[in-house]
Each structure stands twice: as C-alpha cells, then as structure tokens.
Amino acid sequence: MCSLREHGARSTTASIPEQRVQIMQSAVRSLRADVLVVGFGKGGKAVAAAMGRAGKRVVVVEQSDQMYGGTCPNVGCVPTKALVHRAHARRPSDPPQDWYERAIGEVHAITSLFRKGNFDAMTEDVGATVLTGHAEFVGPHTVSVDTADDRVTVEADHILINTGSTPVIPDIPGLRTSEYLVTSTDLIHRTVLPEHLAIVGGGYLGIEFASIYRQFGSRVTLFESTSRILEREDDDVAAVAEGILVDEGVNIVTGANVTEIRDGAGGATVRYMNDGREHTVAVDAVLAAAGRRPATEGLGLAAAGVRTTSRGAVEVDEYLRTSQPHIFALGDVNGGPQFTYVSLDDSRIVLDQLLGDGKRTTADRVAVPRTLFMTPPLANVGLTEREARDAGFRVKAASQPVAEIVAMPRAYVVGETRGVMKFVIDVDTDEILGAALLSVDAQELINTVALAMRHGIKAGELRDSIYTHPSSTEAFNDVIGAVVRSDDG
C-alpha cells in the first residue's frame, strides 16, 4: 500500500470543501493553460505538480469529486490492499458482518483523507486550477468542461489524457441488468458482506477479491473459463497458489462457461457449463472481474485528431505522444500495463519531453515487477521458466517451498509459511531471467530482484549477499544456493 506522502494526505479532515470548489468553478468561463491534464490520476498529477512548480499554468479536470488522486487511492490499490490487511486480521471468533462493516468504514476514512490531501496539494501547494466535471475535446488544443455550475472552455499548449480505465462487464445474458451485479468499485463501497459471492473471471482482480472476501467470511465461488487460474505462471507456482486458495475455502471452477445470470428473490442464480454439464449456484452478489478497458468514451478524441487502437486505447508512441504531438496519454488509457507505478513512470517520460532532453522512452523499462495481493502475495518479474525455455535460454530453476527455507525464519515468526520461491537463471551467464515469489513480504522482495536484474547483478551475487536477520530477503541465500554452487565463478 502506498504511503500518506505518496497520495498527498496532509490533514485528518475527511471532507473536501465543496463551497471552495464551486466558487472556483463558477468564477471562470474560459481558461488559458500551459498544461491541461484530463483525469486526476497518478501520472497526470505527477506531471501537473512538476509543471506547476516550474511556474507553468496548470489546469486539472476530474470528472468526479470522489476521484481526486485517481484510481489507486480511491477505488484501487489503497482500499483493496487495506481490505486485504483487515480481512487477514479477522479472528474466527469475530462476527463476519460486524468486522466487515467496521473495515469498510476504516477504509473509507483512509480514502477520504487521501482524496482531500490530493486536492489540497494540487490547488494549494502546486497552484493548479482543478475543475470537477466532464471534459470533451472540441479541437486539438481546446477542451470543454461541463461542471455542476457552468461550462468552462480550456485552451492549452500541451494536453495530457489520464482518464484511466473502467471495468469490463462480460456479455453474459442477464449479467448487465442483474440487480446483484457488482464491480470492484461497487463492492468496496458496500457495507453488507455478501453471504455468497460469485466472481466471474480468475485473473488478478478476481483472485484478490476471492481471497479478501473468503477471509472476511463470505462463501466464494470463482469462475475461470480456462483450464486453470494463473495460466501465465509456471505449473508448479500456479498449483501452490491455487492450493492456498482452495485450502482457505475458495471454490474454484475452471473450464467454466457462465451462460446466464438470473435474478430471483433475494439473490441471483448463476448458470454455467462445466465438463459438458449444466450447473447452477445461488449467490447474493456477482462480481464482474473480466478486466478493465481504457476510459475514452465521451472524450471527443476525434475532434482533437487523436487516434485510438483497435482495443480502444489512446494510440501513443514510445514517448507517449498521441497522433497529435502536443497531446500525451498516460496510465491505463494508453493501453500499457495497468499498474500505478507504470503510470508514474509514464510521467517521467512526459516530463522529459516537456522539461528535459526528450530521450526517455517506454523502451527504457526493464524488469518491471507485478504483484497479486492474495494472502500471501504472489510477486513476479521477468520470464517464467516456461517462457525462458521457449525463448531458447539454457535454464536452471531454483525453487523451494517457503516452509523448507532454513534461512527464512521470518516466515515462522509471523506465522505465514505457505508459498514457494522460484528463480529462473541463465546457465551460461548466471543472469536472473525471472522470479516468482509466493510468500510473506513478496511484494517487497520482488523489488530487490527487479533492481538486481536491471543492473546485471548475477544470481551468485544475490545468493551470497548479506541480509538482515530475521528477514524474508535472506531466503535468497538458500533458494538460489539450491542450484548455484558456492564455487561458481
């Protein structure tokens, strides 16, 4: 989870001063800016802050006053990871509904704090003008913003599109009209714990929510259309992850074709085909977890001459420039990896265009890690063993169950010995090609591995480094040592 500083939290007062927003909005009809940011997300706000501090006139437009700061602090990483922590802290004797309702309240307090902090930092510290309303391009340099009080026309030299992404609702009969359909955003705003939650989609989002709500006390059925969850992972790693979820009580149905959602009194019936037979299950909430798509609808991109891809993302080059060189697209909306930290790196590329020497590109990214926040978390970087072999590398794989890693007593100290650690190493060069860490602290450990990969640190050096004790990092001594002999050159 990101820090208070990361999200601009500065005050314990939760509410945004709406009167101040309205006065500011009603006082303008047209604005001239050096930089206009459409969407108050991670990448856009980072560029806006830097440009404002550089003395530029900055305008930021956000469609909702509940989204100041973007997806991560409001409906993404902060609330979901806060729920991971609170769900894991529930004891068997704690009433599920009471614990859940309290957890949701605590999470909302955090997101409100971050939201206000982001708004105050942008308006007071940076000096930017924030408009709350729907933005639509009316020309290559001009955007019209419909606020609650009026319409504001903003003309800018440079424009950043940072509108993020929206949940994909699968085209399943009855799903989109179901009273019991929820998105991840809907679910974290509900104070009533679902008794039985159906999750359609076994990707990162689906698995995270399956783990969260099962630990809160819901029954959870996860439907995945492919033959197993985590298809990108090596079979051995995926099997351990699936085993953890199953042992916790998550019902995972793979090879499932959900054919219909039918509402009834007090709940919905999920119909699905599996192994050539039709099955049904009664639930009281259906989470659509089929991924997210770039949020470009209603932006009027054609009026600006901005092209989109076949998947609906804003088309960009390696410098994140759109088909209009003065317009950039950052974060999920440009079709890249949907991670907050990638959006932050997008901001570095754009700032290098606006204030630097313009050399930084998306091609500079090497060994970008990712984490699935089940419990314990699964973090990855680089190639899997299968991918490395398919690419022609001569590979040695180092893999150990966490419970058997002698040099990792921290796992026993904190009572979380489930999981596995795996490294994929090039036989010829001793370079780390990839790693999959399913363990306590994996979301932190993977950053060390990624840094080593970026700087060409060999597996033997990572194996023989000195780490604090007891820590999770010292597991590298044992795991890599399983295949890299101490006398390797």
β-strands 327-329, 151-161 pairing:
parallel
Read off φ and ψ for residue 424, nearest 5 degrees. -115, 120
Single out the catalytic residue among 141, 326, 455, 469: 469
Here the tokens at position 169 are 């609702």
Which of these, 33, 32, 25, 38, lies nearest to 301 by C-alpha position? 38
CA dist 195 and 111 (Å) reads 25
CA dist 94 and 101 (Å) reads 12
Tokens 């794989």 sit on residue: 397
Here the tokens at position 84 are 């991971």
Can you give the C-alpha Rg of the chain in angstroms?
24
* CB-based contact 308:334 (threshold 8 Å): no
* Beta-bridge partners for 6: none
Here the tokens at position 404 are 């058997």
CA dist 133 and 147 (Å) reads 4
* CB-based contact 93:220 (threshold 8 Å): no
Q: Which string of DSSP letters, residue by residue, matches 395-457?
A: EEEEEEEGGG-TT-THHHHTT----EEEEEEETTT--EEEEEEESTTHHHHHHHHHHHHHTT-
CA dist 402 and 43 (Å) reads 36
CA dist 443 and 460 (Å) reads 22
Which of these, 332, 356, 357, lies nearest to 346 by C-alpha position? 332
The question of whether 469 is a catalytic residue gets the answer yes
* CB-based contact 182:286 (threshold 8 Å): yes
CA dist 346 and 337 (Å) reads 11
CA dist 110 and 113 (Å) reads 5
* Beta-bridge partners for 277: 274
Please give the distance of CA 152 from its chain centroid, rounded to a whole number: 32
Which residues are known to be catalytic?
469
